[in-house]
Structure 1
Amino acid sequence: MTALAAGVALLGSLFFALGAVLQQHEAARFQTPRMLVLLRRPAWLAGAAASAAGATLHIVALSLGPLSVVQPMGVASLLFALPIAAAMHGRSPGRGELAAACLVSIGLMGLVLLVPPSSQTPQLTNAGAVAMLTAIGLAALACFGLARFSAGAVRSALLAVAAGVLYGATATFTHVVVGGAGDNLWLLAALPLPAVPALMLIQRAYAAPAGPDAPGAKSGSGERGRGHFGVAFATLQVADPLTAVTCGAALLGEPLPDHTAIAVAFALVAGAGIAMLARTTPLTT
């Protein structure tokens, strides 16, 4: 059953990757993508369906095997996403991109494996929920504000951090609703508060142009890069679970990694991978 759980989780990661690539491919058509426009595009909807399938497979995998086996499989979505994205834009992924993706994956996998399992029932008070939404909202707003004065890979990364912290809050709410004692169902009504802005922000992160002078753009043509997909997706992959772990420790009493120095080292490895991705050739038309 453990091997089956790992296989299902790996398949879920493939669907997550495909969903992200399809959504980025459509969002990159607009410098400021609007959800009402994206919701009318079949390819973007197909990406949303693929992401939903990935989430469903992840839940199935968790029902079949332990968290320590299932969670690391989710890291593979970045390794799936970059080759798929490159193929959609008619090129092969560079060695630098794949090396950077491996660094991010190693760092994130190390962080995931260091988080000890918790056997207690998650409970979140009204005051805790409001405090979390306030803190997460302010953090996302700060990243969004900084992104407005940034460009290229930095803009993509800041928008992805904003989306990641909001998705981390969504994951915390979901964890309480699914694993709680049954008296936290009111949180279902609060789920859209972080989830909807997160969805909108990650589309902006996908669409953030690399600029007319980006590698791969034709000289003098004004052609814009199709965005730093690798940076946006990798940053989201790191910011989301880190936020969820932090919220779990601060509000739900769940344990933090035992070896803080090792956890910091893995976080630095993931950060170095994201920095490397920012220096690679962005997706171009």
Structure 2
Amino acid sequence: MLLTVILAVCAAACNALSSVLQRRAARTAPQSEAFKLSLLWDMMRRPVWLGGIGAMIGGFLFQASALNFGMLSLVQPLLIMELPFTMLIIWLMFGIKLNRQLWLAIISVTLGLALLLASASPGGGHQAPTAQDWVITAIVCGGIAAFLIGMAKIKSGSRRAALLGIASGLGFAVTAALMKESTRLFATEKAAVLTTWPVYAMVAAGIFSVFVLQTALQSGNLVVVQPTLNVTDPVTSIGLGVALFGESIRLGAWVVLELLGVGLIFYGSVKLAQSPHIRGQDLMAPKEE
């Protein structure tokens, strides 16, 4: 389990570094290149952007390795650490002062995650999902996502952003479940893994999730989107881990502590997302010595 935790935390750190580096590179690109292929060519010539892409690839590999060794219900919640890591990286790279409120937010997310995992105590996870399991998952998750997106179309502003944030969190959780299944198949069928459907379903679910997330961010504030994403992804992943891979969590009175952990994560996410530094401001230049 320790190896899984280390790999998942490394994935979160890589994702945070990728976000900071790519955001900094994008903010220095000419506005005239927006929505043009020339923007991608310009980004490819920037070492900062390439570093962000490298970090993103590293995050994917760390996450895949973590899911190969450990449980979905453990790995996905740990990826919440991306938001606190983002703030810490901004602090270290750009010398931006973190006030008391931001430190409390970082502590809130971290303690909430620790409380959620300690009280849920994920375990088990040795069964392989059947075709019927995946069909039921597709129907349930696809139906919920379709409902959320349908409702978002008739809403506007923060309500639309929140609905789409939940839908994207659901999509990322399904993507992670498919990634875990793909790594399981790779361990047993290395030569034939690219001919199996979970790999391509993972890519499709990932693209869908990113698209919905970008639409959510276009519709409303990060303060609305980030907390809904940070709660929906781990909670859904825990449910999918139990339903698909036979993972177990503690229920009964432990649910109270688990909900408290989710609440702390939500509160900390809101406070961190309110920071102008998380929103991408003040990332124009590194700190001066």
TM above 0.5, yes or no, is yes
Q: CA deviation at 1:241?
A: 2.2
Q: Determine helix, strand or coil for the equivalent of 2:122.
A: coil
Q: Is the 8 A contact 2:178 2:202 kept in 1?
A: yes
Of residues 165, 168, 172, the one that matches 2:170 is 165
Q: Match for residue 60 of structure 2?
A: 55
Of residues 256, 262, 271, the one that matches 1:267 is 262
Q: Match for residue 213 of structure 2?
A: 202
Q: Structure 2: 5+ residue runs without aligned partners?
A: 283-289
User: How far apart are the structure 1 equivalents of 2:140 and 2:23?
Assistant: 28
- Matched AA of 1:263: E
Q: CA deviation at 1:139?
A: 2.9
User: How far apart are the structure 2 equivalents of 1:18 and 1:82?
Assistant: 10
Q: Is the 8 A contact 1:231 1:274 kept in 2?
A: no
Counterparts in 2 of 1:104 and 1:64: CA distance versus 1, 3 Å: same
Q: Is the 8 A contact 1:18 1:50 kept in 2?
A: yes
State the aligned residue count.
Answer: 262
Q: Match for residue 13 of structure 2?
A: 14
User: How far apart are the structure 1 equivalents of 2:202 and 2:136?
Assistant: 15
Q: Match for residue 215 of structure 1?
A: none
Q: Match for residue 126 of structure 2?
A: 120
- Matched AA of 2:129: Q
Q: CA deviation at 1:263?
A: 1.0
Of residues 91, 98, 102, the one that matches 1:97 is 102
Q: Match for residue 239 of structure 2?
A: 246
1:170-189 equivalence runs, <5 A: 170-179=175-184, 185-189=196-200
Counterparts in 2 of 1:159 and 1:263: CA distance versus 1, 3 Å: same
Bigger helix fraction: 2
Q: Which has the higher contact order (CA 8 A, sep 6+)?
A: 2
1:82 aligns with 2:81: no
Q: Deviations over 1:89-128 (max 9, x none)?
A: 8854443233223212322232233242114222231x43
- Matched AA of 2:19: A
User: How far apart are the structure 1 equivalents of 2:140 and 2:248?
Assistant: 20
Q: CA deviation at 1:269?
A: 1.8
Note the aligned Cα RMSD (angstroms). Answer: 4.2
Q: Is the 8 A contact 2:230 2:269 kept in 1?
A: no
Q: Determine helix, strand or coil for the equivalent of 1:191.
A: helix
Of residues 192, 195, 204, the one that matches 1:193 is 204
* Aligned structure 1 segments of 4 or more residues deviating by more than 6 angstroms: 33-38, 62-72, 86-90
- Matched AA of 1:191: M
Q: Structure 1: 5+ residue runs without aligned partners?
A: 211-227
Q: CA deviation at 1:19?
A: 1.7
User: How far apart are the structure 1 equivalents of 2:51 and 2:245?
Assistant: 35
Q: Deviations over 1:137-171 (max 9, x none)?
A: 3333444455553436x655543322211010111
Question: Structure 1 length normalisation: TM-score?
Answer: 0.69
- Matched AA of 1:164: G
- Matched AA of 1:124: T
- Matched AA of 2:128: P
Q: Is the 8 A contact 2:124 2:246 kept in 1?
A: no
Q: Is the 8 A contact 1:257 1:263 kept in 2?
A: no
Q: Is the 8 A contact 1:78 1:234 kept in 2?
A: no
1:58-69 equivalence runs, <5 A: 58-60=63-65
Q: Is the 8 A contact 2:156 2:219 kept in 1?
A: no
User: How far apart are the structure 2 equivalents of 1:163 and 1:234?
Assistant: 12
